[in-house]
Structure 1
Amino acid sequence: MTAVYGADVPTPEQLVYWDGDFSKAPEVVYGDGDAVNLVCVLAWNTVVGDDPEQGFFKAVKIMNATHSGIITDEFALKRVISEILEANPRSMATQLPRLLPLLLFLPFFHIAASTSPSGLHPVVLLPDTTCSQLEARLTDAYVPPTPQCSAHHKDAGGRWFRLWKNTTELDDPAVAPCVADQLRLVFDHVAGDYRNVPGVETRVLHFGSTHGFLADEPANRNRCMGRLVEALEEVGYRDGETLFGAPYDFRQSPAALGQPCRAFLRYRQRLRALVENASRANGDRPVVLVSHSEGGYFALEFLNRSPLPWRRMHIKHFVMASTGAGGFVKFMEVVASCVSDVSPLARVRRSVPSKFTPLPSPTVFDRDAPLVVTRDKNYTAHDMPAFLAAAGLPEFEVTLYETRELPMAMNFRAPVVPTTCINGIGVPTAEKLVYWDGNFGEAPETVYGDGDGLVNSASILALDTVIGDDPMQQYYKSIKIAGMYHAGVISDGVALERLISEILRESFVQDHSKKHPFPPHSS
């Protein structure tokens, strides 16, 4: 027997009828599962797996797969079919015809190169945060924090080595603090900018190629554009020819105009050259820029800091997936928890400017809508400096947020190139964090609202106003997929079909209503 189930999907775990009125909708506390609670699914291991009379038993857990997605999602279906065929591989030839009706449910992107539109427009991908791979090398100026770390990479001899993501070293308690020390950033008060620890040099791996961010683990591969790359290859795209990647140093973030930010300046220069070369190599066809999640902030700021004539010449279409116009509430918990967290990676998170990028923006979230609730004080998006101070950030870091990051959030604006925003909606999403005793080091009680599981609906809907209503923005389209989670926009079969169709779009005729119904989603 093989049990196949999903996990890591918000699933009701507790229903709160505070006044005892069961006729009213309850407040819902979410846990793990796939619509069926994870504790019930895991019980198969004990009830069936530990039964002495049970012969063969296998449990297959598919991360981010919904309950119905097990038999509709392409990745999950492949696992189910492989388990069916594994039971009797010799009979594959007789079983395969029986499985063909099931295979028809797979989303197809098989538009062969011979039937593809003549002359594909080059595509440049910008992934989510932490997807980009980083290499490092140490110079004589590096001072390890401990004698044990001195022995780590002692034979490197100035050679480049994988710094992120090095799962083997990050999972080793003895080595993880050494990796974290080399990964963290420091703020140079003289230069007014963030930089590596002295003696550590870093570089993004495989800039220009999608190999720079395709993860090995299936769950991370979905989040890091792996299935999107496969879908693009199905319609004829080839890495390094018509398909390109623009990985970035996810520790850094664009800073407000007038603030030094050498990392983003270099990135803009490299991305501009990549776009120009990709266009030139493909008959001067303009480029389709595609971003996911935090990659959208980098793409949008790159476009807005590029001359308008250059944008109109080199950018055919900007497709921004799973990025809102004003951050999301959940990240307030991330920032608060990293202050008291003593783990090596939390130390890295505390040191980087990108920890501020997705914080809720006062341009989107109302002044009278508390996002964090305590017994003594509530905090809205307009109270973010006070919240950061209460969470334990030093005063100079709060000042860095106010001078470098907050102006960026306040200046989120239309890129003035044809733009399509694709987002999930209708998924339980953290809307309010309750730290009743004011202890930000503990996990809060969470009140859920609407969104994609990470980005709030308020931030998603604000795109229609901030971008769609800008008089300079000639073409804008918003696609909201009901029931679609944050990473599913670039990995779920239904969402990928919509995404690929937008990337391949040839003409742009503006629907002046700029309002679009939610397409149905089967999960």
Structure 2
Amino acid sequence: MKFQFGVWLFLCISSRFNVSSGSEAGAAPHGFAPVIIVPGDGASPIDAKIKAKSNCDSRKEWFRMWLNVEDIMLGRFPCTAKNMMLNFNLTTNTSHVQPGVETQIPGWGTAHTVEYVDDHAFARIFHIAFDAAYLVQAMVSWGYTRDVSIRGAPYDFRFAMASQPEWCVRFKLLVEDTYVANNNRKVSIISHSMGGFFATWFLNRQSQVWKDKFIHSFIALSTPWGGSNKALQSITSGYNFNVPLVNVRDCKMIQRTFESNYLMMPNYLFHKPNHIFIKTPKYNFSLNPEDLDLYFEASNNKVGKLIYEKIMRENRLKRTKGGMLFEHPRVKTYCFYGVGLPTPGLFYYPKNFPDQQPVIQKVSGDFTLVHESLRGCKIWEEDFVKNNASDEKLFTEVHELPGVSHIGIFGDPRTQEKIKLILSDL
């Protein structure tokens, strides 16, 4: 890992402290819509407090459980993994946090919470664990104000939408509060990655009257409309984000319990018929309904099948036109994503499936999501064009950006400039 020794030395001699983002007073700049950012998978911080005496962690006060790079560098990730795991109750069909572990999502409504996932000073210095920082910094240069006209809506990324209904309630109030705080200007929702699922799911559950009053636009960055192959790798054999200090078996242990990984399983309808996602000497898995049961059985993940079925049922996710899990949110929608970068496409397990890491075949995408998944909202754009743009609420505009990565989209000058134009269209 680049700068690993220097970072380790820095950690040994430094203490954890927060660096203030600075919260200026004032509404969005004249002629611009205020913004709420909905982060992606793994991009919301999780604080924890340990209550159980037998737990491997003895910290009784609130501490940063995710993301805590210091704990990772000091070899504490196995304990973090145990604390972050969810328990699936086979009787009630519900997921719960570990007994003796209390969690909370800090930073509601603030910009800081979506800029950096870890608030340690070195995370900023070395740009480790940053998320929307580049975009927020650009918006501040346009005249935006943190915590007033740029706000964040973090969530517990381990759970799917229906499992945290309080998020939707709070998000609706946050939209309305931001609208009032910015002189009754409509609010633009900017989502990244899985945050696009949360934003679309929310919008589809609001009345058109409410959306017409409060929502300016929906800007979806790098959304896995057709699922994530890396989520599939996570629940199959584990994925450690290529961090050598993190044991992939610890990752697999917790990743199989996260509802969100099943929410983002690849959607076979976005690919050519009989497209193969996983290949072994004995099986080829295309994840269509006929072999989905076999996949969960062969990968020794029968509980995972129950979690997957629960997610599809409780979130009322149905395959619509082209395989999309969501209807159009009926607000002006803009989709941005990168293409042309080597991205995991097929996982080959020559032996010991699913207990070894696969040989990965790369295809075009944004380093994280394949092109077929990212381009999902083109279905909405094509429908809008076919209908001669007769329904303004179905407006959709898609921007493919060659060479832009999944997280790099926040700092891409083309994306920033286009977002600036969208937000100024009042």
Into which bin does the TM-score normalised by the smaller protein fall?
A: 0.7 to 0.9
Residue 499 of structure 1 corresponds to: 419
Cα distance in 1 for partners of 2:281, 2:99 equals: 43
Give the conservation status (yes or no) of the 8 Å contact 2:366–2:405: yes
> Structure 1 residue 229: deviation in Å?
0.6
Residue 214 of structure 2 corresponds to: 314
Q: Kindly tell me: are residues 137 and 128 of structure 1, through their superposed partners in 2, closer, same or farther at Cα, counting changes over 3 Å?
A: same
- The match for 1:414 among 328, 335, 354 is 328
SS at match of 1:284: coil
Q: Kindly tell me: are residues 408 and 278 of structure 1, through their superposed partners in 2, closer, same or farther at Cα, counting changes over 3 Å?
A: same
Cα distance in 2 for partners of 1:467, 1:438 equals: 43
Q: Kindly tell me: are residues 198 and 324 of structure 1, through their superposed partners in 2, closer, same or farther at Cα, counting changes over 3 Å?
A: closer
* Equivalent position amino acid for 2:44 in 1: S
Structure 1 residue runs of 5 or longer lacking an equivalent are: 1-6, 9-41, 43-58, 60-112, 256-260, 507-523
Give the conservation status (yes or no) of the 8 Å contact 1:221–1:227: no
- Confirm or deny that 1:249 pairs with 2:161: no
Cα distance in 2 for partners of 1:130, 1:343 equals: 18
- Confirm or deny that 1:135 pairs with 2:36: no
Give the conservation status (yes or no) of the 8 Å contact 1:366–1:380: no
Which structure is richer in relative contact order (CA contacts within 8 A, separation 6 or more)? 2
Give the conservation status (yes or no) of the 8 Å contact 2:239–2:251: no
Residue 291 of structure 1 corresponds to: 191
Residue 160 of structure 1 corresponds to: 62
- Confirm or deny that 1:356 pairs with 2:265: no
Q: Kindly tell me: are residues 377 and 348 of structure 1, through their superposed partners in 2, closer, same or farther at Cα, counting changes over 3 Å?
A: closer
Residue 38 of structure 2 corresponds to: 126
Q: Kindly tell me: are residues 287 and 358 of structure 1, through their superposed partners in 2, closer, same or farther at Cα, counting changes over 3 Å?
A: same
Residue 17 of structure 2 corresponds to: none
> Structure 1 residue 409: deviation in Å?
6.5
Q: Kindly tell me: are residues 309 and 368 of structure 1, through their superposed partners in 2, closer, same or farther at Cα, counting changes over 3 Å?
A: same
Give the conservation status (yes or no) of the 8 Å contact 1:375–1:438: no
Residue identity over aligned pairs, in percent, reads: 26
- Confirm or deny that 1:188 pairs with 2:95: no
> Structure 1 residue 322: deviation in Å?
0.4
Residue 205 of structure 2 corresponds to: 305
> Structure 1 residue 356: deviation in Å?
1.4
Cα distance in 2 for partners of 1:430, 1:271 equals: 33
- Confirm or deny that 1:236 pairs with 2:143: yes
SS at match of 2:96: strand
Cα distance in 2 for partners of 1:180, 1:446 equals: 25
Q: Normalising to structure 2: TM-score of the pair?
A: 0.80
Give the conservation status (yes or no) of the 8 Å contact 2:217–2:332: yes
- Confirm or deny that 1:338 pairs with 2:252: no
Give the conservation status (yes or no) of the 8 Å contact 2:220–2:335: yes
Cα distance in 2 for partners of 1:412, 1:320 equals: 13
Give the conservation status (yes or no) of the 8 Å contact 1:367–1:381: no
Cα deviation code 1:305-361 (max 9, x no counterpart): 222221222111000000132113333222211299664444322221112122211
Q: Kindly tell me: are residues 396 and 349 of structure 1, through their superposed partners in 2, closer, same or farther at Cα, counting changes over 3 Å?
A: closer
Larger Rg: 1
Residue 225 of structure 2 corresponds to: 325
Q: Kindly tell me: are residues 479 and 303 of structure 1, through their superposed partners in 2, closer, same or farther at Cα, counting changes over 3 Å?
A: same
SS at match of 2:217: strand
Structure 2 residue runs of 5 or longer lacking an equivalent are: 7-24, 117-122, 241-246, 320-324
* Equivalent position amino acid for 2:226 in 1: G
- Give me the CA root mean square deviation: 2.9
Superposition pairs for residues 46-85 of structure 1, below 5 Å? none
Cα deviation code 1:274-318 (max 9, x no counterpart): 001000111221100001111111111111122222122211100
Structure 1 stretches of 4+ with a deviation exceeding 6 A read 339-342
> Structure 1 residue 221: deviation in Å?
4.9
* Equivalent position amino acid for 2:422 in 1: E
* Equivalent position amino acid for 1:496 in 2: Q
> Structure 1 residue 494: deviation in Å?
3.4
